[in-house]
Amino acid sequence: MAEEQNTKLATFAGGCFWCMVGPFEQEEGVYDIMSGYTGGHTENPTYREVCSETTGHVEAIQMKYDPSVVSYERLLEIFWRQIDPTDPGGQFNDRGESYTTNIFYHDEEQHRLAEASKQELDENGPFEKPVVTRIREAGVFYPAEEYHQDYHHKNRFHYMMYRKGSGREGFINNYWSEQNEHQ
């Protein structure tokens, strides 16, 4: 594992956090991916509270990464290929603010790179509708309950059925197919 002083944080909200962990854990230089909640106003929210749409939080993942091994630009590329960045109301079957897409930047470099990648995707990407993913300053990140951590490993069959049934799998295959090596 990378030395602690060489790691940075990256935080992404792409709808259901179960579906966001796997693509990043495959990337060399990414460590300690945690599912959780961020962007809201309630301290220590629970899953039930976040889903009630009263806390302002979104489901998100936060990871440590070693920028000498994997670039933030690469993490952004992985992120964009897991979501529908044109959907302002959630992701696939998951509807509501808590499932909207967000990039939470931890420093000005991440902010600049996130804005540039969003603009590039909006202007040259495969989507007809505008990219609506929000780019926000990172705040407090609250880890989700233990049963949500590594859900895609603990409950593999249910996760695969959910990913397909939600429409995420088909969307990714439709828009990224051969280009997406992280499905």
Positions annotated as catalytic residues are 16
Integer distance in angstroms from the first to the last C-alpha of the chain? 24
Beta strands in the chain (DSSP E): 8-14, 30-38, 58-65, 90-91, 94-95, 101-105, 134-137, 141-143
Contact 59, 65 (CB under 8 A): no
* CA dist., res. 155 & res. 142, Å (int): 22
